Amino acid sequence: DTAVSQTPKYLVTQMGNDKSIKCEQNLGHDTMYWYKQDSKKFLKIMFSYNNKELIINETVPNRFSPKSPDKAHLNLHINSLELGDSAVYFCASSPRTGPAGELFFGEGSRLTVL
Amino acid sequence: EDKVVQSPLSLVVHEGDTVTLNCSYEVTNFRSLLWYKQEKKAPTFLFMLTSSGIEKKSGRLSSILDKKELFSILNITATQTGDSAIYLCAVDKQGAQKLVFGQGTRLTINP
């Protein structure tokens, strides 16, 4: 059973389109994250949710809208896609409510904007 | 601004060699430092270090933290081709509930 699963794994789309990435964790963790990894492999936090509540929104354009219907799911919707949005998006979860500590990552969703 | 800097960015060695990867940091309210290994897909957790001078070990991998000089090293002895990966260092801050990552070291082990 995959602990943190994301769909889709690959996404190729045109500029200006809207797309969503879904994430689910079966670890019973309270905290979930979205990280973006650029072409230089730099992982940067985008959002953090704790038990469905937004905790961190790290200067991400408001074209990106996360949604957490329950504590096991965290989805990411992106409007009006731009070339610079091309990256690998990782979902992660953490067993801790306070410190980030050890993160459990999904396998990533590679987004390519043409 | 918080900074986590890893060196070298890229390293190519032969199987059996020993490697040392470096991570230095400048962050406010440091809590812990973590090492991850990223092969093709998801980063996987290796170590979490909170105290200076105490070595953490797992098989051929070991890591130590120096909170005075603000750095950590990750050692891999008797390297194998399966050790080829990107190694990521990250810092956890008090009250921040996020990890700040370095840019990673790409390690290639040639047979």
Closest by alpha carbon to A103, among B27, B88, B4?
A: B88
Residues of A in contact with B23 (CB under 8 A): none
Candidates B65, B32, B48, B3; CA nearest to A42 is: B3
The reported pLDDT for the residue numbered A99 is: 58
Tell me the pLDDT band of A18, cut-offs 50, 70 and 90.
very high
Q: Which of A59, A60, A55 is nearest to A77 (CA)?
A: A60
| CATH number where B61 lies | 2.60.40.10
How confident is the model over A82-99, as a mean pLDDT? Answer: 86
pLDDT reading at A105 higher than 60? yes
pLDDT of residue B101: 93
Q: Which of A77, A94, A91, A104 is nearest to A18 (CA)?
A: A77
Q: Give Cβ neighbours of residue B94 (< 8 Å, ≥ 6 apart).
A: A99, B29, B30, B31
Q: Supply the range of the domain harboring residue B34.
A: 3-110
Which pLDDT score, from 0 to 100, does residue B91 have? 94
Percentage of chain A modeled with pLDDT above 70: 93
Peptide bond into B43 cis (omega under 30): no
Count Cβ atoms below 10 Å from residue B1 Cβ, excluding itself: 6
Please answer whether residues B92 and B74 qualify as being in contact, where contact means their C-beta atoms are separated by less than 8 angstroms.
no
pLDDT of residue A100: 61
- Nearest Cα of chain B lies from the Cα of A35 at a distance, in angstroms, of 10
Sort out which chain A residues have CB atoms less than 8 A from B44's CB and list them: 105
Has domain A4-113 been given CATH number 2.60.40.10? yes
B4: nearest CA in chain A?
Answer: A42
Distance between A14 CA and the closest CA of chain B, angstroms:
24
Q: Which parts of chain B sit beneath pLDDT 50?
A: none
Candidates A25, A54, A102, A110, partner chain B, best to mutate (most B CBs within 10 A): A102
Which of B85, B76, B79, B74 lies closest to B34 in space, CA to CA? B74
Q: Left (φ > 0), alpha (ψ -120 to 50) or beta: where does A35 sit?
A: beta
Instruction: Read off the pLDDT band of A98 (50, 70, 90).
Output: low
User: Total domain count for chain B?
Assistant: 1
How do the domains of chain A map onto residue ranges? 4-113
